[in-house]
Structure 1
Amino acid sequence: MRTARRKARVAECSHVEATESTRCRPIGTHLSETADKRAHHNALERKRRDHIKDSFHSLRDSVPALQGEKQSTKQASRAQILDKATEYIQYMRRKNHTHQQDIDDLRRQNALLEQQAVRALEKVKGSAQLQASYSSSDSSLYTNPKGSAVSAFDGGSDSSSESEAEEPPNRKKLRVEAS
């Protein structure tokens, strides 16, 4: 029964195209829709290819080893761009890892120096209190050959400001081994 109806529909639509999904349409309309769909698809595909091309150009310009390639007559292929970009990313990862290790070492070094400074301040504070308690008696102070006062508690060091200026210690990077 269906086939009979379809044949009847096709017969009555002789000047137009008849399909199962549509009733009678002019023949040119279907071809026009197909051409529009194809043109739309082609435009989308062209836009996609242009985006990929622009992305490769941006990637090429971001990799230092390829930055001069845009002016040269021989441009890098997409495979070369990807290879160089991969190498550069790996190089930067190694460099960042090294820098992070240096930062960690410097943090440990700073912590050690802060501990040493605190201990030194506590030692100075303790010895200053000790000297203050003994300085009231004259027996703890002696006079050196230069005529300045020397404490019996400081190991005979010269307490005058005329003493030679000490050279600052050389700074060395301390390597702290993780325990």
Structure 2
Amino acid sequence: KRAQHNVLERKRRSTLKELFFSLRDAVPSMKGNGKFSKVSILENATTHINCQEMDLQRLDEEFARLKRENAELQ
């Protein structure tokens, strides 16, 4: 029973480790730049997501402005 638990725990930790590696590789500033702590991976991922959201909002506003300009010109 204990051995089975140890196997499952090892598998859980391995899966979690791989997910952190995937998250690290998804953040452009961290990709291929060596070893990072889990906390720094989460902080950098959060910063990256916030920047992406701001860019998206800016592009949405620009799109709406260009759409209005296009409608006025027609």
TM-score interval for Structure 1 and Structure 2 normalised by the shorter chain: over 0.9
Runs of at least 5 residues in structure 1 that lack an aligned partner in the other structure: 1-36, 115-179
- Normalized against structure 2, the TM-score is what? 0.95
The number of aligned residues is 74
The CA deviation string for residues 42-93 of structure 1, in whole angstroms up to 9 with x for no partner, is 1111111011000000000000110122xx3xx1100000010000000000
More helix by share: 2
Q: Detail structure 1 runs of 4+ shifted over 2 Å in the superposition.
A: none
The CA deviation string for residues 131-174 of structure 1, in whole angstroms up to 9 with x for no partner, is xxxxxxxxxxxxxxxxxxxxxxxxxxxxxxxxxxxxxxxxxxxx
More strand by share: 1
* Residue type at the aligned position of 1:38: R
Distance 1:100 1:79 in 2: 31
1:77 aligned residue: 37
Distance 1:106 1:47 in 2: 52
Runs of at least 5 residues in structure 2 that lack an aligned partner in the other structure: none
* Residue type at the aligned position of 2:66: L
Distance 1:45 1:81 in 2: 22
Q: Which has the larger radius of gyration?
A: 1
Q: Highest relative contact order (Cα 8 Å, sep 6+), 1 or 2?
A: 2
What is the aligned counterpart of 2:26 among 51, 56, 62?
62
The alpha-carbon deviation at position 103 of structure 1 amounts to 0.6
Distance 1:109 1:78 in 2: 46
1:141 aligned residue: none
Distance 2:3 2:70 in 1: 67
RMSD: 0.8
- Normalized against structure 1, the TM-score is what? 0.40
SS of match in other structure, 2:36: coil
